[in-house]
Amino acid sequence: MRMRVWLVCFLVFLFPLVQIGAQSGRSTESGARHYSLNAIVQATGESLIPLSGDVNITRNQVALYEAGIEQDINGFRPDLTAARIVVVVDNSKGIPADIGEMEKATRALIGELFVGDRTMLVGFNDSPEMLMDFTEDGKKLAEACKLFTKKQNAHLYDALAAVAEDALRPQIGIAKRVIILISDGYDGGSQFEYERVLSLLQRENIVVYGLQIPDRTFGAPRAKKLGPKPVDAFHGLVEGTGGRVFKLDDAAKAAKIMTDEIRNRWYLIDYVPKGTNTTIARRLLVSLNDDKLQMRVKRQQPAN
């Protein structure tokens, strides 16, 4: 029996929880805050060609800066564990893409998943709907793609918040948690604001990859209370969490790159911040001593 659950019913309970239960940091015996960062390696530049062969990076090649201050890296290791992936697809009536295009792109992703990775499929319009629960069964996921529809408005930020809180946070013991977003970045009236959902994703150490659909607003100005323009919101949510943006038209190539990064190019950096104020958001920057490679992390560490 196909499982379909309305995730939005949990949203009323989420607001007091957003500031607690952080997955990205914990306290040491001395009381100092210990952080673990996802760090992903890609070829320098924006090539759609996946990296080939093994990539061997040592801690001595990596430099981490928080609020402009270089940090001591206590631990650095590749993470080859299985992932929990949620594919989140805009099913609103205004999305400027055919259902067939979105289904084809999602099927391309499903076809590249590694053994052990468990994937959930969520469609959203004015509320998010789970079309398939976490599974390794590609056939079930492909079948669930037939449930895509186009109706009502796009509440993108509420959908991402629900996925972060109700789908990915409960995955206890899973460090590698990913959202693959198929959207144009448009939000039409969520209760969650852009800054709040971005902070939530960063705090939970969730990496967002994006398959971008052309902007339905054609770059039109938006009232400040509605948040950033769709294109800016899309890039901010993806790149702000350490992910990468691809075009929907490049879905087949992008699927290979995303799944390869998730399985083979993912590292964990452990550190205890020094010289920074952890009660405010701090800018993060990582550099890699290799001209052919670059490393991505989320753009900031949220306030404690």
This prediction has a pTM of 0.90
CB 172 within 8 A of CB 80: no
Least confident residue range of 48-57, 157-166, 227-236:
48-57
43 shares its domain with 114: no
Interval 186-195 mean pLDDT: 95
49 shares its domain with 69: yes
Interval 211-223 mean pLDDT: 92
167 shares its domain with 202: yes
For 79-108, what is each residue's pLDDT tens digit? 999 999 999 999 999 999 999 999 999 999
Of all residues in the chain, the percent with pLDDT exceeding 70 is: 89
**Which pairs count as long-range contacts for 220-226, CB under 8 Å and 24+ apart, including other chains?**
226/187
Average pLDDT, the chain: 90
* 279/223: higher pLDDT: 279
The CATH number covering residue 194 comes to 3.40.50.410
pLDDT band at residue 25 using 50, 70 and 90 as cut-offs: low
135 shares its domain with 52: no
Alpha-carbon distance 283 to 69, whole Å? 10
228 shares its domain with 293: no
54 shares its domain with 163: no
73 shares its domain with 33: yes
Q: What is the pLDDT of residue 172?
A: 87
Q: What is the pLDDT of residue 18?
A: 35
Q: How would you label 107-136 residue by residue, b for 16+ Cβ within 10 Å and e otherwise?
A: bbbbebbeeebbbbbbbbbbbbbbbbbbee
C-alpha distance from residue 227 to each of 187, 224, 245 (Å): 8, 6, 20
* 151/13: higher pLDDT: 151
pLDDT band at residue 227 using 50, 70 and 90 as cut-offs: confident
239 shares its domain with 146: yes
Q: What is the pLDDT of residue 138?
A: 96
pLDDT band at residue 226 using 50, 70 and 90 as cut-offs: confident
pLDDT band at residue 8 using 50, 70 and 90 as cut-offs: very low
* 11/178: higher pLDDT: 178
Q: What is the pLDDT of residue 29?
A: 52
**Owning domain of residue 203:** 5-16+81-263
Interval 244-272 mean pLDDT: 96
For 38-79, what is each residue's pLDDT tens digit? 999 999 987 787 787 888 899 999 999 999 999 999 999 999
Instruction: Give the alpha-carbon dihedral of 229, 190, 251, 248, to 10 degrees.
Output: -40
Overall number of domains in the chain: 2
69 shares its domain with 145: no
By three-state DSSP, how is residue 283 classified? strand
Strands 84-90, 128-135: pairing is unpaired
115 shares its domain with 190: yes
Alpha-carbon distance 284 to 203, whole Å? 13
Q: What is the pLDDT of residue 49?
A: 79
Give the number of C-alpha atoms closer than 13 A to the C-alpha of residue 83, restricted to the C-beta side. 29
- Rg for the chain (alpha carbons), in Å? 19
Q: In the numeric block, which tokens belong to residue 239?
A: 């790149």
152 shares its domain with 99: yes
249 shares its domain with 270: no
∠ Cα 123 4 243 (to 5°) = 35
pLDDT at 271 over 70: yes
